[in-house]
Structure 1
Amino acid sequence: MWRRLIRLVAALAVCGAPAAQAASVWVVELEGAISPASSDYFIRTLERASDEGVELVVMRLDTPGGLDKSMRDMVKAILASTVPVATYVAPNGSRAASAGTYLMYASHIAAMAPATNIGSSTPVSIGGGGGSPFPSPTPTPSPMPTPGSAPESEPSSEGDEGSGGSADDRPAHEPADAMGRKVVNDAAAYLRSLAELRGRNVEWAEETVRSGANLAANEALERGVIDLVAADLTELLDTIHGRTVTIAGVERTLDTAGAEVQTIEPDWRYELLGIITDPNVAYILLMIGIYALILEFYNPGIGVGAVTGVICLLLGAFALQMLPINYAGLALIAVGVAMLAVEAFTPSFGIVGTGGVIAFVIGSIILMDTDLPGYKVSYPIIAAFTAVSVGVVAFGLGAALRMRRARVATGVESMVGATAQVMEDFTASGRVRAFGEVWNARGEGEFHEGEDVEIAAVDGVIVQVKRTGPATRAR
């Protein structure tokens, strides 16, 4: 009897127990250059995933590279995350080039789909405002060895960790200047540290930074650069189920088999940042804001120019502070616009205006401190705003010339050259009517009533007149 009662209680307990909830996996899709917008989108998603207890965040990646600052912010978020991150280069034909390689090395799980590649992680320039950018790689074919010559040896990374060694020991691909070597050494050390943290290939991490090496998916798996190759997301989740990853120093076993997969769609903030952090859009907003304010000060009205100018300036400034800008270029643009405004309000016959146009053009060209494709201000846009600036100079110069050539419109000086009418016959002196008033007049010769004469000079209340044609008598 007791056994039956125990079995009954156990059956009721089993029936009443809630079914185990399936693990949740979030998928974040990043396609294109790593930018401030994509960095903000990923970091905010990772924070939400931590708050909601998500089992795993999968970053499906296809990138040609991106900005160093944005990439480092994402790496920091991954390293500090309480949710495991799997970076998955997919679909077929995708790549994790340049900055994408760093994200792969930083992730808890690194996976690639077939027919994908990873590498080309050499920084290409030094960013004064936003760190060194990582380019969209353009593969350079290696020269083929000539018959009878020894094949070109692989570059060695030994001795490059410090100052780069002497000029004789330095590999051919290493930058010749000291600043360039510092940037490359910093990037190499950063990627090596990530490789050591995740137990991945340290030697190849050095190689991809110093020589821009690339690997296909299967080669990356063989050399220990990634953890697995998976044809699709389902295979990825099934393969990593039961694997152990380290989160904040604590080992954690992944439970991803049969997980509920949710793709996180970008929100309005991501879309807005994606638009305004385009260098061309940021530049246009900045210029519209400046010229709208100049227009408002030149011709005060109901405040439309001021409101438009302030909004555009704030949006442009917000975008520029997230981009790798050259502050010397920004200062030249500001000086150029200021000189153009001076030319428009206090014309200097083109001297100040010409200098303003030159400063404006140079500043616009060097504004973006990066060689990364897609992060330069378009030359046609610069040309368009330069034309507007030249128009401002031309307007100011034309106004100055017109003012110089124009007749005086007020005062005694405005009477000189005007026409007056003789009121009575006189010789040497008499009276004329001008500007609705009667004036005492003097002139050489005889003048007849009703005759039109020209005022040659004004002396107090007496006007000096002269005949404009042969003597005539009014009838």
Structure 2
Amino acid sequence: MMKLFVPVLLMLLLGTKVSSAATCTLAITINEAITASTTDYLERAEKRALENKCDSIFVRMNTPGGSLMSTRRIVERMLASKVPYLCLITPRGGHAGSAGAIILQACHVNGGVIATNVGAATPILGTGEKMPDDLRNKMINDIVSWLEGVTTLRGRDLKFSKDIVTEAKSVSSAKAVESKALDILAEDEADFLKKAEGRKVLMQDKAPIQVVVGDLREFTPDTRYQILSFIADPEFAYLLFMGSLGLLYVELTHPGLIAPGVIGGIGLVFSMIAFHKLEVAWGGLALILLGIGFLIAEIFIPSFGILGVGGLVSLFVGSVFLFDQSTGYTLPYTVILPVVLAIGAVFFGVGYLALKTLRLRSRDADQDLKDNVGVVVSTDENGHRGQMQIMGETWNFVSEDSLKPGEPVNVTARQGLTLNVKKNKE
């Protein structure tokens, strides 16, 4: 009997050890308006969670709202996620307004700490102006029908999801829990995660699973997020787009200014990313190609370094956008900076040598003009100005001597496309 008991006991102990293997929960924080930077941040966080085989994603939320387009993308991602999202309004005094309230309804488990509030999701224009009634009704009806589907899927209060859009209703988290708009009222983060663990949630394939909460692994906002947050504010993105078009127009109508074209080109790519017209990675690739184009142009166009500096900035930001922490192709700044500086040194070096060669050519051409004899072709009334031929080319000339057509002359200096000449004494 004892011989049977020992193996069984060992199997039970091993089984317990396997089942209690270390788990993880990826933690992220949203403390700003919902923009393209938030969409990119959540997308990368979800990739990181899947790579690390985390069982859930914990979202700390404190936001006034933001872009409806970004909100739709975030909701779509949450509904299609293979990892449950646990969303909490925190800290005390925080709120999930407008877009934040909509995102909360898409989370698999949501809640708020004491003294927080949620709601007020009525759409408004970013400029703060009054919206035309037809447009307002159209947007409200669209958002209500969209949010009703999300709320029904999560089994939450339909009336609340409608009221926050049609009446801009906002309530405390405690009241939201009472009306079943939120799942959990918590004292703090630890209390929320404890109450969320073990809850059954519905995933994309309609298979219910139990929420597992493991050790928190922070996915903090990085430089890529900070840059995107700066450019993705709707009003700033619009001004950036219009300003970039204006600068490009100035460059096209006044060729050679260089700076408007460089700034306008980079700004246009930034605004396309902010408007979701370019994915961040594709935007990074566009910036890298634009930067290389600027550096090549620096070799042939005298821009006093403007093209070169613009190219280096474009290369650096493009590299930051192209590679991020959530993929297996992470590039640290210790790699990006030396590469960008090395490329810059090569192009600036080649440009310097090219400029030196051009200057040497210019000096050689001037010497050739001085070593050859020209012939006057035509003159003005006084014979001090006119045209001459030298080395098979026709030039304008000025002379202190009074000259006549057919007289030989020597070149003493060159002023642009005009030669200073004197009579040939030989």
Decide whether the 8 Å contact of 1:277 with 1:320 is kept in 2: no
TM-score, normalization by structure 1: 0.53
SS at match of 2:221: coil
Map of 1:23 onto structure 2: 23
SS at match of 1:29: strand
Q: Label 1:296 to 1:102 Cα distance change in 2 as closer, same or farther (>3 A).
A: same
Map of 2:4 onto structure 1: 6
Map of 2:74 onto structure 1: 74
Map of 2:87 onto structure 1: 87
Count of aligned residue pairs for this structure pair: 283
Alpha-carbon distance in structure 2 between the residues aligned to 1:8 and 1:324:
62
Decide whether the 8 Å contact of 1:99 with 1:134 is kept in 2: no
Map of 1:319 onto structure 2: 271
Alpha-carbon distance in structure 1 between the residues aligned to 2:403 and 2:173:
102
Alpha-carbon distance in structure 2 between the residues aligned to 1:94 and 1:134:
24
Q: Which of 217, 225, 234 is residue 270 of structure 1 equivalent to?
A: 225
Map of 2:140 onto structure 1: 184
Alpha-carbon distance in structure 2 between the residues aligned to 1:134 and 1:220:
30
Question: How is 1:10-409 mapped onto 2 (pairs within 5 angstroms)?
Answer: 10=8, 12-13=10-11, 18=17, 20-125=20-125, 177-248=133-204, 249-256=206-213, 259-278=214-233, 280=236, 282-283=240-241, 286=244, 290=248, 293=251, 297-298=255-256, 305=258, 309-310=261-262, 313-323=265-275
Q: Label 1:14 to 1:212 Cα distance change in 2 as closer, same or farther (>3 A).
A: closer
Structure 1 letter corresponding to 2:216? V
Structure 2 letter corresponding to 1:276? I
Alpha-carbon distance in structure 1 between the residues aligned to 2:244 and 2:136:
32
Alpha-carbon distance in structure 2 between the residues aligned to 1:76 and 1:134:
27
Decide whether the 8 Å contact of 1:276 with 1:315 is kept in 2: no
Return 5+ residue gaps in structure 1 as ranges.
Answer: 126-132, 136-173, 300-304, 326-409, 417-433, 440-475
Decide whether the 8 Å contact of 1:111 with 1:227 is kept in 2: yes
Structure 2 letter corresponding to 1:93? G
TM-score, normalization by structure 2: 0.58
Return 5+ residue gaps in structure 2 as ranges.
Answer: 278-377, 385-398, 405-426
Decide whether the 8 Å contact of 2:42 with 2:74 is kept in 1: yes
* Larger fraction in helix: 2
Map of 1:446 onto structure 2: none
Q: Label 1:13 to 1:209 Cα distance change in 2 as closer, same or farther (>3 A).
A: closer
Q: Deviations over 1:251-290 (max 9, x none)?
A: 101233xx21111112332223223334547359827963
Alpha-carbon distance in structure 2 between the residues aligned to 1:191 and 1:413:
88
**CA-atom RMSD in angstroms:** 3.5
Alpha-carbon distance in structure 1 between the residues aligned to 2:121 and 2:231:
27
SS at match of 1:297: coil
Q: Label 1:199 to 1:8 Cα distance change in 2 as closer, same or farther (>3 A).
A: closer
Q: Deviations over 1:348-385 (max 9, x none)?
A: xxxxxxxxxxxxxxxxxxxxxxxxxxxxxxxxxxxxxx
Alpha-carbon distance in structure 2 between the residues aligned to 1:62 and 1:219:
18
Decide whether the 8 Å contact of 1:92 with 1:115 is kept in 2: yes
1:16: Cα distance to partner? 6.1
Decide whether the 8 Å contact of 1:276 with 1:316 is kept in 2: no
Question: How is 1:438-453 mapped onto 2 (pairs within 5 angstroms)?
Answer: none
Alpha-carbon distance in structure 1 between the residues aligned to 2:224 and 2:403:
76
Alpha-carbon distance in structure 1 between the residues aligned to 2:230 and 2:164:
32
Alpha-carbon distance in structure 1 between the residues aligned to 2:188 and 2:177:
16
Decide whether the 8 Å contact of 1:293 with 1:310 is kept in 2: no
Alpha-carbon distance in structure 2 between the residues aligned to 1:287 and 1:413:
51
User: Which is greater in Rg?
Assistant: 1
Map of 1:387 onto structure 2: none
Q: Deviations over 1:305-328 (max 9, x none)?
A: 37x845751453342353399xxx
Decide whether the 8 Å contact of 2:201 with 2:209 is kept in 1: yes
Decide whether the 8 Å contact of 2:241 with 2:267 is kept in 1: no
Structure 1 letter corresponding to 2:173? A
